[in-house]
């Protein structure tokens, strides 16, 4: 393999980062305000842990979520594995929660995602373009007719 081939291979796997960052700041602020009450303390602790260790990275090829205790858990999903994207607005629509339903039935939850509508549209666009690109060519089995 020549040095030119290595450079060419690196260019082929180049990813464009669409979003990289942590959860929405409004989630932390709102939950800290709720934490002033006894009932809101667990929510405030959860928001602090999310703010410290949860990170999202959405690129042109995959979605990576780092979280867990000290940010040690990492999950990566490529767009061809995603069957469905669901989202729910939080914080009066300023941020939202997203669930990625995978082809094998597993679910990846992304909480307090900023710009969630824009990110949901981007993920749907990438998912649809990947599914069209990976569609079977040639003799595909006939589609089932529902009764």
What is the per-residue pLDDT for 120?
95
The rounded distance, in Å, linking the Cα atoms of 35 and 139 is 60
The structural domains of the chain, with segments of one domain joined by +, span: 16-133
The rounded distance, in Å, linking the Cα atoms of 110 and 7 is 35
What is the per-residue pLDDT for 144?
63
CB 68, CB 109: distance < 8 Å: no
pLDDT < 70 stretches in the chain: 1-12, 131-147
Write phi, then psi, for 18 (nearest 5 degrees).
-90, -40
What is the per-residue pLDDT for 138?
55
pLDDT tens for 37-75 read 999 999 999 999 999 999 999 999 999 999 988 778 999
Question: In CATH, what class is 16-133?
Answer: mainly beta
Concatenated DSSP letters of the chain:
--HHHHHHHHHHT---EEEEE-S-HHHHHHHHHHTTSSTTHHHHHHHHHHHHH-EEEEESSEEEEEESGGG-EEEEEEGGGEEEEEEEEEGGGTEEEEEEEETTS-EEEEEEEETHHHHHHHHHHHHHHHHHHTS--SSPPPPPPP-
């Amino acid at each position: 393999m020549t040095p030119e081939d290595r450079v060419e291979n690196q260019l082929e796997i180049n990813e464009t980062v669409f979003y990289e960052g942590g959860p929405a700041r409004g989630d932390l602020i709102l939950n800290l305000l709720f934490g002033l009450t006894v009932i809101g303390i667990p929510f405030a602790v959860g928001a602090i842990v999310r703010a410290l260790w949860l990170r999202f990275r959405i690129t042109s090829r995959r979605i990576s979520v780092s979280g867990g205790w000290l940010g040690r858990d990492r999950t990566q999903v490529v767009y061809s594995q995603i069957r469905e994207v669901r989202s729910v607005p939080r914080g009066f629509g300023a941020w939202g929660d997203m669930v990625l339903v995978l082809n094998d039935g597993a679910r990846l939850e992304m909480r307090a995602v900023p710009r969630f509508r824009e990110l949901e549209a981007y993920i749907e666009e990438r998912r649809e373009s990947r599914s069209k690109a990976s569609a079977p060519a040639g003799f595909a089995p006939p589609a089932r007719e529902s009764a």
